[in-house]
């Protein structure tokens, strides 16, 4: 089965863009993948055009070989744009392999180690009371985890106040949902070390499942000081491309949860290697997935087949976005993703519907400090 075409599809999904890649073959089967570099969809589409010439005419079954060719074939190692494009293509190749063999992707990854995959939704709200009420409603609907973010004030971010409000909000959510529900908080790389240390220490009494991205992701060495000064579990990794970006956090035991994004790190092929590396350090996967139906499906298959798994991010339950583009999505019930029994990823892609959803170029929202200076969103 030879690859005949590789087509990028940046699409508008109603409130944000998504980026999909369709790989076609001479057997009439197609695979579908997704890239995760949000707000850089057109750059990723051009990267796919570059990579296409390396792929057309090649056997679709040589997934590892094609990953190496794509990653190293331009001499310069892939950056985040290229690794996102590689990730989308790689996920499509796994989908194709499953379809060709008539089995779900998790069977190709060693088979299921669990019956279902626990997920967390995002909860938002301006006040502790609002967050507590919405969290309680999510628990009543079957969710076992809650996740919220360190608050901003419109486009203003004042770190000291944000830390104080985060602690108040966390306390209110804990009181509302009780001790059997896990709570995650995402600082979204907004804090500097002193505020991150303060946040983590003050949250210890409320037992967070993890504190996510307390620091920016360019300099992993900054996690040493934080890890020395707090006992809360730390999570990071959603901005990383390839296994090498994860090296220091895993090898130095600086995180307890790996927020790998399959659609940025290089696909299922690369994520499996990171997962194995994490296993040797007792780090659990908590895959990053603010993305679309293909990312959700790819995460589900990896989670089903990975022993060291913690929780799956799922702000958009299957069927809630792009139902025309993906008329078949993976099963979900009561806060859990369930094993699909269809071959491949278990989803269907409608190319004509994707062509109708033209991408809308834009940039990430911007935050500023009180003095007008830029700060991470």
Minimum distance of Mg ion from residue 368's CB (angstroms): 20
- Catalytic residue, candidates 288, 301, 336, 368: 288
Q: Which of residues 34 and 186 has its CB atom nearest to Mg ion in the complex? A: 186
Q: Is residue 221 among the annotated active site residues?
A: no
Q: How far is CA 369 from each of CA 156, 190, 194, 364, 377, rounded to the nearest angstrom?
A: 6, 11, 16, 16, 11
**How many helices and strands (H and E) does the chain possess?**
13, 15
Give the distance between the most distant pair of CA atoms in the chain.
60
* Contact flags string 77-116 toward Mg ion, x per CB under 5 A: ----------------------------------------
From the number of C-beta atoms within 10 Å of its C-beta (0-12, 13-18, 19+), residue 186 rates as buried
Q: Does 313 bind Mg ion (CB under 5 A)?
A: no
Residue closer to Mg ion by CB (options 97, 147) is: 147
Q: Are 304 and 117 in contact (CB under 8 A)?
A: yes
Q: Please identify, using beta-carbon distances, which residue of 66 and 264 lies nearer to Mg ion.
A: 264
Task: Compose the 315-354 pattern: x for residues touching Mg ion by CB under 5 A, - for all others.
Answer: ----------------------------------------
Rank residues 139 and 264 by Cβ distance to Mg ion and give the closer one.
264
Judged by beta carbon, residue 186 or residue 245, the one nearer Mg ion is: 186
Q: Considering the complex, what minimum distance in angstroms separates the CB of residue 189 from Mg ion?
A: 8
Segment 155-194, which members bind Mg ion (CB under 5 A)? 186
CB of 46 to Mg ion, least distance (A): 26
How many residues touch Mg ion (CB under 5 A)?
Answer: 1
The least distance separating Mg ion from the CB of residue 6, rounded to whole angstroms, comes to 29
Q: Kindly provide the residue ranges of all beta strands, DSSP E only, lying in the chain, ordered along the sequence.
A: 3-12, 17-25, 30-35, 117-120, 145-149, 182-186, 210-212, 234-236, 257-258, 284-285, 312-313, 332-333, 336-337, 367-368, 374-375
For 82-121, give one letter per residue: b (16+ CB within 10 A) or e.
bbbbbbbbbbbbbbbbbbbeebbbbbbbeebeeebbbbbb
Nearest-Å Rg of the Cα atoms of the chain is 20
Q: Rounded to the nearest whole angstrom, what is the least distance from the CB of residue 149 to Mg ion in the complex?
A: 8
Q: Running DSSP on this structure, what letter comes out for residue 2? A: B
Helix, coil or strand: residue 223: helix
Residue number, nearest CB to Mg ion = 186
Catalytic-role residue among 50, 122, 188, 368: 188
Separation between Cα atoms, residue 172 and residue 167, nearest integer Å: 9
Q: Which residues are catalytic?
A: 188, 288
State the residues that interact with Mg ion by CB under 5 A: 186
């Amino acid at each position: 089965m030879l690859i005949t075409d590789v087509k990028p599809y940046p699409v508008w999904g109603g409130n944000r863009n998504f980026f999909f890649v369709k790989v076609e073959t001479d057997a009439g089967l197609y695979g579908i993948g997704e890239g995760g570099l949000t707000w850089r969809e057109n750059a990723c589409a051009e990267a796919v055009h570059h990579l296409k010439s390396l792929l057309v005419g090649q056997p679709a079954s040589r997934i590892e070989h094609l990953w190496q060719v794509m990653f190293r074939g331009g001499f310069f190692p892939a950056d985040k744009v290229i690794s996102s494009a590689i990730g989308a293509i790689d996920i499509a190749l796994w989908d194709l392999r499953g379809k060709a063999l008539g089995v779900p992707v998790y069977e190709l990854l060693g088979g299921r180690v669990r019956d279902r995959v626990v997920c967390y939704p995002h909860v938002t709200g301006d006040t502790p009371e609002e967050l507590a009420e919405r969290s309680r409603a999510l628990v009543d609907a079957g969710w076992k985890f809650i996740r919220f973010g360190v608050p901003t004030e419109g486009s203003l971010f004042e770190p000291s106040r944000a830390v104080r409000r985060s602690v108040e909000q966390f306390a209110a959510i804990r009181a509302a949902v009780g001790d059997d529900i896990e709570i995650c908080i995402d600082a979204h790389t907004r804090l500097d070390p002193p505020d991150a240390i303060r946040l983590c220490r003050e949250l210890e009494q409320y037992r967070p499942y993890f504190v996510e991205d307390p620091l920016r992701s360019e300099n992993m060495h900054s996690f040493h000081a934080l890890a020395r000064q707090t006992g809360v579990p730390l999570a990071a990794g959603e901005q990383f491309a390839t296994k090498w970006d994860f090296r220091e956090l895993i090898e130095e035991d600086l995180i307890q949860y790996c927020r790998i994004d399959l659609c940025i790190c290089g696909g299922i092929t690369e994520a499996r290697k990171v997962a194995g590396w994490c296993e040797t350090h007792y780090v659990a996967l908590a895959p990053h997935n603010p993305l679309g139906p293909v990312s959700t499906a790819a995460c589900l298959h990896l989670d089903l087949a990975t022993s060291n798994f913690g929780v799956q991010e799922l702000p958009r339950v299957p069927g809630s976005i792009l139902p025309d583009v993906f008329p078949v999505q993976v099963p979900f019930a009561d806060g859990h993703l369930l094993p699909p029994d269809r071959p491949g990823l278990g989803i269907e892609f409608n190319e004509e519907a994707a062509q109708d959803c033209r991408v809308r170029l834009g940039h990430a929202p911007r935050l500023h400090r009180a003095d007008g200076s830029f700060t991470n969103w």
